[in-house]
Amino acid sequence: MCLILLAWRAHPGHALVVAANRDEYFERPARAAAFWQDAPEVLAGRDLTAQGTWLGVTRAGRFASITNYRNPAERMAAAPSRGRLVTDFLTGAHRPSAYFAGIAPQASEYNGFSMLAADRSSLAFFSNREGAVRRIEPGVHGLSNELLDTPWPKVEKGRQRLGALLAGTFDPAAYLELLGDTEPAHDLHLPDTGVGAEWERRLSSIRIAGGDYGTRCSTVLRIGTDGNVEFWERSYDREGAAIGTLHFGFTLSGEA
């Protein structure tokens, strides 16, 4: 993922609301969201190169998602896939903070990442570029290719719009519209992450449309305080056109 907006226990009817965009090269093969045959409790898309995922939820209410930490100068060609970290959390049983504490000693083996993980009682954040495990308090948060709540333009815009949407009746179309915003940030507000001004400008919009690299899919997830879960995934082609929307709904099962 390259943008994850989420509201954690910020509304009496929603335990968790997530609105996220996955940005990736279109040549990298992936499978759309589905319940996995080899892990039937997991609902997620799948990277077919390394068999991991960028975002997923389980029937028991476990959630995880990851972004790359943008710093091309530090990239290691032989590093293991970061998507496996999401898969391992979703298919495991550790509490979020305990899971992050367990992977921290080996985290430097991976290229830079920032990851969110939640179960039905807690939400935690960990980045191997920060090193600390953070338990996240209720509120509206945003993550792009840096640390949680770093005030990049797309993060700040997304958090404000997500907060406004929470005040009304839940409408998945409004959240997908938020994720469809292709307006770039003003040059004065662009971060400097080492990719050059042209790429900083292109990557600054909430959704990146057109070209070999861009937003492949948008995901909206809602876990209600009543235990009902709904999941939407909208896919895009290389030209930035929407090519389909999937919807899944289920009720949480098992222990919290």
- In this model, does residue 23 exceed pLDDT 90? yes
- In the chain, the percentage of residues whose pLDDT exceeds 90 is 98
Contacts of 225 (CB under 8 A, 6+ apart): 12, 13, 14, 15
In the predicted model, what is the mean pLDDT of the chain? 97
Provide the strand spans (E) within the chain: 3-11, 14-25, 30-35, 42-47, 55-58, 63-68, 113-118, 123-127, 133-135, 139-143, 213-224, 228-236, 242-251
pLDDT-derived band at 234 (thresholds 50, 70, 90) equals very high
Nearest to 64 by CA among 11, 10, 137, 113: 113
Q: Sketch out the chain's domains with CATH numbers.
A: 3-251 (3.60.60.10)
pLDDT-derived band at 176 (thresholds 50, 70, 90) equals very high
Contact 64, 52 (CB under 8 A): no
Nearest to 146 by CA among 44, 207, 68, 250: 68
For 71, the token pair is 């710093």
Contact 184, 41 (CB under 8 A): no
Q: What's the first-to-final CA gap in the chain, in angstroms?
A: 26
- In this model, does residue 38 exceed pLDDT 80? yes
Contact 113, 69 (CB under 8 A): yes
Q: What's residue 255's pLDDT?
A: 66
**Burial environment of residue 151 by CB neighbours within 10 A (0 to 12, 13 to 18, 19 or more):** exposed
Q: What's residue 254's pLDDT?
A: 77
- Give the helix ranges, DSSP H, for the chain: 83-90, 96-103, 153-166, 172-179, 197-203
d(CA 239, CA 88): 33
Nearest to 88 by CA among 130, 56, 129: 56
d(CA 229, CA 247): 11
d(CA 182, CA 154): 10
- In this model, does residue 205 exceed pLDDT 60? yes
For 188, the token pair is 């004065």
Residues β-bridged to residue 168? none
Per-residue model confidence as pLDDT tens digits over 84-97: 999 999 999 999 99
- In this model, does residue 256 exceed pLDDT 70? no
d(CA 12, CA 126): 26
d(CA 239, CA 170): 29
Length of the chain: 256
- In this model, does residue 1 exceed pLDDT 80? no
Per-residue model confidence as pLDDT tens digits over 183-203: 999 999 999 999 999 999 999
For 202, the token pair is 């292109």
